[in-house]
Amino acid sequence: MSLYADSLKTLSVTDLAAMKQAREKISCLTAYDASFGALLDRTGIDVILVGDSLGMVIQGHDSTLPVTIEDMVYHTRCVASARKRAFIVSDLPFASYATPNDALRNAARLLQKGQAQMVKLEGARIDVIGFLVEQGIPVCAHLGLLPQSVNRIGGYKVQGRDPAQAQKILDDALAVERAGANLLVLECVPALLAAGIAQKLSIPVIGIGAGVGCDGQVLVLYDMLNIGAGNRPRFSKNFMAGAESIEDAVRQFHRAVKAAEFPADEHCY
């Protein structure tokens, strides 16, 4: 049972930090509209990520790169309009945080117009993270596989398998925490590496393809419902299999995360 399952108030960054301290796993799914936002909220999902993954699952692109800040503000506002309890994180899209001032301008739009509670950005952008935190904007960092850098890294590949790369991810994780990030997403990294990072950091670490040792788990909603336009990633799971409804599938995901039953070995690297 969640510490905050019956809470009538919106969850905050301090609530997420308390969940980590209590060793309660944090459940997170993406959503892009009011209907799914409301469904995830009533099933008890702790964090709703309005991800730039909407570029692929909503807009039909082959990457997240075409997504604009206008897209993110619109979809975040849609989700926020239906949410009562869940904590809302919104992605800063590609090229929207090239400088600290760019990041501030666009993050402010996501919080003011989109009603997000936190923004997420990819990479160890210490200068940007520190500047946003100084302005009172909560930040979620994102390390490991960085979808916005897919052209630079040559595709969607597991990161951190060799010792030098693993050390770099660990060093970056410690650096983003020192810069003031309140949350970290680790994507497509070996489970042992991710678990070690989660143990070393005081902030919650949310995994996607990063093993059960993280403090929480996130999946793209359309992937776990098996309705994505592309192939479902290995680290995801079809929670619709055997479910009575979409809401039942989401509840099964939520329970599996809380019980540390997902991800299983077959979803890890």
* Cα-Cα-Cα-Cα dihedral sign, residues 176, 178, 182, 185: positive
pLDDT (tens digit per residue) in 19-50? 999 999 999 999 999 999 999 999 999 999 99
112, amino acid identity: Q
The one catalytic residue in 187, 244, 247, 261 is 187
Q: How far apart are CA 248 and CA 245, in angstroms?
A: 5
pLDDT (tens digit per residue) in 47-100? 999 999 999 999 999 999 999 999 999 999 999 999 999 999 999 999 999 999
What the chain holds in terms of domains, given with CATH numbers, is 13-267 (3.20.20.60)
C-beta of residue 67 within 8 angstroms of C-beta of residue 54: yes
Burial of 113 (0-12, 13-18, 19+ CB in 10 A): middle
247 is catalytic: no
pLDDT (tens digit per residue) in 97-147? 999 999 999 999 999 999 999 999 999 999 999 999 999 999 999 999 999
Closest CA to 144 of 206, 201, 223, 91: 206
Whether pTM > 0.85 for this model: the answer is: yes
At residue 58, what are phi and psi to the nearest 5 degrees?
-105, -45
Confidence band for 232, pLDDT divided at 50, 70 and 90? confident
Q: For residue 231, what pLDDT is reported? A: 78
Give SS3 for 213. coil
Closest CA to 54 of 70, 41, 42: 70
Closest CA to 68 of 81, 82, 58, 80: 58
Query: Encoding tokens for residue 210?
Result: 């990063």
